[in-house]
Structure 1
Amino acid sequence: MKIKSNFMFKIVPSVLACMLALSGCSGNSTKTSSELGGSVSGKTVNLTMSVWGNPAELKVYQKGIDAYTKEHPNVKIKMIPVPSDGYEQKLLTQLQGGNASDVFYVGDTTMAKLAKKGSLAELGEFMKSDESYAKPDEYADGLWGAAKQGDKIYGISVDCNPVVMYYNKKMFKDLGIKTPQEYFDDGKWNWNAFNEVTKKLKDAGKKGFIAEQWLMDTWIWSNGGLSFDESGNYVMDQNQKAKDAIQFVSDLMKKGQITYAGSLPKGQGLDAMFMSNQVGIVAAGRWLTPMFSQNKSLKFDYISWPTNTSNKMEPVQIPVAYIAVNKKSKEVDEAMKFATFYVSKEGQKERLTGNGSAVPSVSGIDDIVTSDKTVEHSQYLIDGRETGFASGSPKLFKGQVPGLNKEIEDQYDLLFLKKQDVDTTIKKISEKSKKMIEEFKAGN
């Protein structure tokens, strides 16, 4: 994903001022590429952009590049696919060696490392300028994660994937079980309802729900609990609601109503089990939708996470990836222009229209999701985006500390494999979290 020509900035300031005065442009408004205008014919600007992704995803990325270069024909952008396994290490090595791409994708767990190392161009000031295609206030606060350090911005979410639950509508109907949406419409889609439906599914010979350990903060929030507070302080060991949420999930596993994904036979995933009508409910972002939609016999819908509070919805976790700019790029200004285009309304519309695997991270083009009639209640994805949190946000501060996510997930893994109890799990998570956070802060 590349950038934009610098040629326009060489226009005589007085002429530019007259043009702006005549057009009546506001300094705070977001510009589309047509409003900013294509780059005037001049030197060719060559940019490189590193990404990970399967062949289908690469085609989606290319749409964003093509839309930009169509408006700016003197800008050439070469996309460099890198295998997802080893992507982070290769990026870190290239940045250290001074030969990284001008623009690159950054995973949410990698962002904290790069932002702290000073490897990334700061984008916040540029995004406030007329030359930016996107403004910071077009993105929900929870999406910034580790990409925002104080008032500095080092990356922008390329899209997002708020977590929802998927349920098999046909299975519920065939078994005569009240659907999650019916509970929700009655104002009763809560833990009690989740307990009821998963028990009925189990009693009917099905698996109720397949859980993954990385989503435990969503369960904790659904009870009004916290692992980290609004300032990023670790508080789970002092938070009874967090403990109760972990106990709730653990208890339903012991009853056989929840199945731990990590206990499934090798090669058997929750997606295949859902499509083969073995499980009634699974959780994921929008990425499972294209696969499920291809199975014409599968009738499914989304539902928000069940809560144990007075609210119908609570925040959920939001997996994201960011686009960032190499601080040492020889074309850093151009790179920032392209990066903001790629994540702008125009850029995301080019990439995500017809692609049902992600949700726009930018506001104003929600119809890309809500107009998709494949799934009836797509609005839950938008709701999740507006209230949820990406890794590295204060309430998911563990994402700022290299390695802490994995350490915590390893402890949940032991709990769900019935190798330790809830109290032991919380004790070990607390010890590891406090130690690693203290070391992290001491080193910065």
Structure 2
Amino acid sequence: MKKRLKWSAMLLLAMMLVLSACGGNGNSSKQSANSNNGNTSTNQPSDTGSDKEPVTIEFMGHGNPNEKSIFEKLIASFEDKYPHVTVKYTSVPPGEYSQKLTTLISSGKAPDVFYVGGSEFYRFAEAGTILNLQSYLDGTELFEQDNVWKPALDRYRYNGEKVGSGDLYGLPKDVGPWSFVYNKTLFDEQGIAPPPAAAGEWTWDDMLAAAKQLTIDQNGDGKPEQYGVAAYTLESAVWANGGNFIDYETGEVLVHEPAFYEAMQFVADLTLVHKVSPNVEAEQSMNGYTRFLNGQLAMFAMGPWDQPAFWELPFEWDVAAWPASPATGETATWLGSMGFAVSNKSNHPQEAFDLAAFLSLDEYGQRQNYELGQAVPNLIDMAKGEFLEADKAPASRQVFLDIIEDYGRPDVPAFSKDTQWIDLFWQQASRVWNGEVTAQQFTADIQPKMQELYDKFNK
């Protein structure tokens, strides 16, 4: 009898071991059913990897206090979903980030996951500093390529020679449509029809006419307390006018062409001639962002990440299409992006990828991201669905999607591995903004210098 009981117990133990092995990686059937391979369609995080060995990974980013607070919430959600992973999050002031990251990488202490964009992405991918994520993406159900904005993904592709095609070495943190925001209350007070959301319906001339009415010197001292427009982006003006900074296919710098310098002069004349935009002195006294928050500026520029601060404003505001060039009828603006990269030296590449994928692609994480006002969802179906239906400002949030799909362009340095050529331009552009030289004179003088720098460090 004892032998039979002992044999039965051994048989039961063997069956339990077999069933446990069938669960895959030691996960319980309950966990497997809830995690759906890390993808969840509910509003609650799933319990993924609760029986795995504890892991700590480091994540470094940058941003304002709002962004830091948002990412602390997102990371807490990630840790709920992946309870075996602890994330050590460091938020660095934006102006210090690049230098700190470079120092950490040089010393072999790179964080497991970090922000990367533009020329840094190009250099890091070329040097093998960051991990090729394609095999990880091929093994996760989180990634549906057709449901992620193509302009965002293409920024993080590298084929061994150039950025824009090939395998993915990063995932988009966001896709940042740089939009035209206006104080609707100020427009209403002056009885002016607000700028339309549809591209091409409002030109530079329309914007200038409105800006003149909305620039108000209340005490007659020659220094307006309220301005019509500020921070008018040169990229928008140049591209809308048919110009460009560079032809990346040929490597030719194009700032000396008429379409470019005419657009640059238009932007400068908003201050120099028309006085509807703050000059350098006024900007130093109070920058455009603060003026807009204070209700002393009618038209400005914003990214989706500005929403949390704007939601607290005591006036109505909305976004519109950037004004079109009268010469072309075209509208344009830049489409920014920052990415998540994984260090090629990470000791925990799977967990590092899981964090990057959660922050970039997970439905729950993306929902939190847009509800907290951090970004337009990277997931197209979410962006065109619940994001558009959200009841918070801006009312015309379709503008964000129009920029992504129709008239947004990568920011100028996106496909350079060295930016000294464009840095030189911005460093000396104040000569035009303060009226020292015309845009035509400036661009004719600086084009060969920019070309020399581009050829030296990018070819």
Q: Same fold (TM over 0.5)?
A: yes
Separation (CA, whole Å) in 2 of partners of 1:258 and 1:13:
71
Q: Which moved more, 1:332-341 or 1:311-320?
A: 311-320
User: How many angstroms does 1:33 deviate by?
Assistant: 4.6
Q: 201, 211, 226: which is aligned to 2:231?
A: 211
1:118 is aligned to 2:137: no
* Matched residue, 1:244: 262
**Which of 278, 281, 285 is the equivalent residue of 2:303?**
285
**CA distance in 2: counterparts of 1:415 and 1:186, whole angstroms:** 28
49-58 vs 167-176, greater mean Cα deviation: 49-58
2:343 to 326, 350, 354: 326
Taking only aligned residues, the RMSD between alpha carbons, in angstroms, comes to: 3.3
2:39 to 32, 36, 40: 32
| Shift of residue 334, structure 1, vs aligned partner | 2.8
Q: Quick one: which amino acid aligns to residue 131 of structure 1?
A: T
Question: Partner residue of 1:375?
Answer: 394
Maintained 8 Å contact 1:303/1:380: yes
Which SS does the other structure have where 2:410 is aligned?
A: coil
Counting only pairs closer than 5 Å after superposition, residues 286-325 of structure 1 correspond to structure 2 as 286-296=304-314, 298-308=315-325, 314-325=331-342
Distance 1:170 1:64 in 2: 34
Residues 410 and 260 of structure 1: CA distance in aligned 2, closer, same or farther (over 3 Å): farther
Distance 1:137 1:434, change over 3 A: farther
Q: Structure 1: how far apart are the matches of 2:346 and 2:148?
A: 26
**Structure 1 residues 177 and 323, CA gap change in structure 2 (3 angstroms):** same
Query: Which position in structure 2 is the counterpart of 1:20?
Result: none
Q: Secondary structure at the match of 1:343?
A: helix
- TM-score norm. by structure 2 comes to 0.79
Q: Deviation at 1:352?
A: 1.4
Identify the residue that residue 168 of structure 2 maps to in structure 1: 153
8 Å Cα contact 1:190-1:307 kept in structure 2:
yes
Q: Structure 1 residues 115-124 or 414-423, which shifts more?
A: 115-124
The corresponding residue for 1:358 is 375
- The one of 409, 412, 416 aligned to 1:389: 409
Residue in 2 aligned with 1:162?
177
Q: CA deviation at 1:155?
A: 1.9
Going from structure 1 to structure 2, the CA distance change for 1:58 and 1:195 (only over 3 Å counts) comes to closer
Aligned to 1:100: 110
Contact 1:145 1:389 in 2 (8 A): no
Q: Which residue of 1 aligns with 2:457?
A: 440
Q: Deviations over 1:76-129 (max 9, x none)?
A: 2221233333221121111121111111122445333323332111123432x1
Confirm or deny: 8 A CA contact 1:133 1:337 kept in the other structure. no
Q: Deviation string for 1:214-260 (max 9, x for gaps)?
A: x3112111223222336373352464322332232233332234425
Contact in 2 for aligned 1:162/1:385 (Cα 8 Å): yes
Aligned to 2:4: none
Paired letter, 1:390: P
Aligned pair partner of 2:202 in 189, 194, 213: 189
Instruction: Specify which structure has the bigger relative contact order, considering alpha-carbon pairs within 8 angstroms and separated by 6 or more residues.
Output: 1
Give TM-score scaled by structure 1 length: 0.81
- In structure 2, list runs of 5 or more residues that go unmatched: 1-19, 26-31, 158-162, 218-223
Name the SS for the 2:335 alignment partner: coil
Query: One-letter code of the match for 1:427?
Result: A
**Cα separation, partners in 2 of 1:249 and 1:37, compared to 1, 3 Å:** same
Question: Matched residues in 1 for 2:129 and 2:200: separation?
Answer: 48
CA offsets 1:321-371 (integer angstroms, 9 cap, x no match)? 211100011122332232122200425425414322432233222233551
State which of 209, 231, 240 in structure 1 corresponds to 2:249.
231
Conservation of the 8 A alpha-carbon contact between 2:324 and 2:332:
no
- The alignment partner of 1:365 has SS state of helix
**Distance of aligned partners of 1:263 and 1:364 in 2 relative to their CA distance in 1, 3 Å threshold:** farther
| 1:185–1:216 Cα change, 3 Å | closer
Alignment CA distance shift 1:416-1:324 (3 Å): same
> In the alignment, which of 416, 436, 444 is matched to residue 419 of structure 1?
436
Equivalent in 97, 100, 106 of residue 90 of structure 1: 100
Residues 324 and 68 (structure 1), Cα distance of their counterparts in 2 relative to 1, 3 Å cut: same
Query: Which is higher, the Rg of structure 1 or of structure 2?
Result: 2
Q: Is the 8 A contact 1:109 1:402 kept in 2?
A: yes
Aligned CA distance change for structure 1 residues 53 and 199 (closer, same or farther; 3 Å): closer
Mark the runs of 5 or more structure 1 residues left unpaired by the alignment.
Answer: 1-10, 17-22, 24-28
1:335 aligns with 2:352: yes
Residue 414 (structure 2) pairs with residue 401 (structure 1) = no
Residue in 2 that maps onto 1:175: 190
- AA aligned to 1:142 is P
The secondary structure found in structure 2 opposite 1:90 is helix
Aligned to 2:230, the other structure's residue is in SS state strand
Determine the structure 1 residue equivalent to 2:150.
141
What is the letter of the counterpart of residue 73 of structure 1? P
Give the share of equivalent positions with the same residue, in percent. 23
Q: Flag the 1:257–1:357 CA change in 2: closer, same or farther, 3 A.
A: farther
